[in-house]
Amino acid sequence: MKRLLGGLLLLAALAGAGRATAEPLRYGVADDWPKFHACGDVWWQSAADIGYQEFRMTVQWDDAAPTVIAYQANLQAAIDCALLGGLRPILAVYPLHPAAIGSNAVAQAQFATFVSLVGQAFPGVQDIIVGNEPNVNRFWQPQYRNGQDAAATDYEHTLAQAYDALKTVRPDANVWGPAISSRGNDHATATSNPSHSPVWFIKYLADAYKASGRTKPIFDEFDMHPYPPTQDTDPFSKSFLWPQAGAANLDRIKQALWDGFSGTAQPTPAEQPGGGSVRPTLSSPGLPIDLDEAGEQTVVTGHDPAYTGGPENVTPITEQQQSDRHVQLAEIAACDPDVKALLYFPLIDDTGLSSGFQSGNLFADLTPKLSYAGVKTKIASAQGSCQGGITGIRQGWTHSTSVQGARGIFGGPGTSLTVSEDANYAAQVVKIPGGPVGAALTGTVKAYFRPGLHFPGLQLPAGTYRFQIVLSAATNPSRTTTLVSPTFIVGQAAKPDRSGRPAPHAAPKQCRHGRHHRRAGFCGK
């Protein structure tokens, strides 16, 4: 035990030495094992040996007993053990029942009081997470009310009260929120799992924040669970399509935070104008991002007697795949200057195949997996620093003022456009010289779609024209992009070539029903 604690204290000293200017990435684990097992057992030994510096435990609020901290003595024992050994404990506080809070003002206030009680009960814990994936139905209900957002708005009201209640009794505490899931379907009437994507949840969260008139932050660090697009199959480096976002799309999360909170009292992530990976300093910290609860489940072949139940609830990956992906995620996190901490989940496999997670660094029989050595080696070599990055994943970031992925598609069978985020558009035909002809064609374009732009009944006199499309981002109308087509000619004979024949690109002929040639982008299909 003395050797274990000595090693942990050394790790803590080394970590502290790096915080004079800019803190390197901190590695840790999210796991409730220490809450129910003795200090110094295999969990603690393994955490110290791998090099983890912090760990997260959960505290669930039971609305039937709103002032009772379940397993308080167990939590205190684990916290004492962590502090003695140099690990930084983190507590995640969220409702036991997903429908316990919602828009109920009394429940919101009771939960906020409970968060403050947790802060008072455990003065050795500085970092407290408020909420757990409030953008998914499993942890927060309702997600929608009458087809409109409910969860983000209700959670914002709850978080703001919890922030203030905790800061009143523990000014030193850091509030993490919202512990958001990387996935959501944005389907208000879904029969199963109505949920919010992270980008839209952040937008609605910010809308509620601004509508409240609040002049203080609601979280000190932004927390998210960065599972990949297909859990336990895809690597963490695989990008999501907008509006989902994972470890490979942190620039999308940062843009959403900037869109929603820029200019308010809620800080946004630090920007890197040079595109580098220099971590923020204490004098210019920005909003830290924590990647919390990351893991992918492995096969358990050869260790079957340690597990119960079944069948497996996912398609598990091999030990080697898990190790490679854990290491890759550590590199993604270390190379993003705004990421402060990375917490894997859990350290030791759950025993239930169909009900738990087999994503630990150790099997349930306590045998180390390949990821144990893989992560240990990565931590020892990187020491929280970037070692080159992952191809295709941005490191530095600056906010955008334009619509992402906006591109005009002009000519051919019709006029269209595409974007990589939802946007509103106003399209017009413009005469040169002159100005807009007819009314603007307005609408919404979904990310990655290519809507046809048709101007029914529009008649153009002879002349030179172009298309102009003004786009504004659906999540932030102040971000705009204007697309302009090449010019085209209507109703004028083209100049003959040297042979006396008309040029190949003569003026477009009239379509039937009085419409113009498709080359001009007017005829419907």
pLDDT digits (tens, 9 = 90+) for 99-109: 999 999 999 99
**Residues contacting residue 170 through CB under 8 Å, at least 6 positions apart:** 116, 119, 120, 123
Q: Quick one: 458 exposed, middle or buried, by C-beta within 10 A (0-12, 13-18, 19+)? A: middle
Q: Do 41-297+314-346 and 407-520 fold alike per CATH?
A: no
Q: Please tell me the predicted confidence (pLDDT) of residue 519.
A: 39
Mean pLDDT per 10-residue segment, the chain (525 residues): 41 36 87 97 98 98 98 98 96 98 98 98 98 98 98 98 98 98 96 95 98 98 96 94 97 98 97 75 82 96 94 92 98 96 98 95 98 98 96 92 97 85 97 94 96 89 95 98 95 58 42 37 37
DSSP SS3 for 59: strand
Amino acid at the residue 33: W
- The Cα angle at residue 519 between residues 518 and 521, in degrees rounded to 5: 60
DSSP 514: G
CATH number of 41-297+314-346: 3.20.20.80
Q: Please tell me the predicted confidence (pLDDT) of residue 515.
A: 38
Check whether the bond before 142 is cis (ω within 30° of 0): yes
How far is the C-alpha of 460 from the C-alpha of 508, rounded, in Å? 12
Q: Please tell me the predicted confidence (pLDDT) of residue 495.
A: 57
Residues in the chain, total: 525
Phi, psi angles (nearest 5°) of residue 54: -155, 165
How far is the C-alpha of 510 from the C-alpha of 523, rounded, in Å? 10
- pTM given for the model: 0.90
Amino acid at the residue 514: G
DSSP 133: -
Phi, psi angles (nearest 5°) of residue 306: -80, -5
Can you count the helices (H) and strands (E) in the chain?
10, 17
Q: Please tell me the predicted confidence (pLDDT) of residue 496.
A: 53
CATH number of 407-520: 2.60.40
Q: Which two tokens stand for residue 252?
A: 């999308």
Domain boundaries, the chain: 41-297+314-346, 407-520
Helix, strand and coil percent figures for the chain, each rounded to 5: 30, 25, 50
**What does the mean pLDDT of the chain come to?**
90
Q: Please tell me the predicted confidence (pLDDT) of residue 278.
A: 74
Amino acid at the residue 253: I
Tens of pLDDT, residue by residue over 65-99, are 999 999 999 999 999 999 999 999 999 999 999 99
Tens of pLDDT, residue by residue over 315-343, are 999 999 999 999 999 999 999 999 999 99
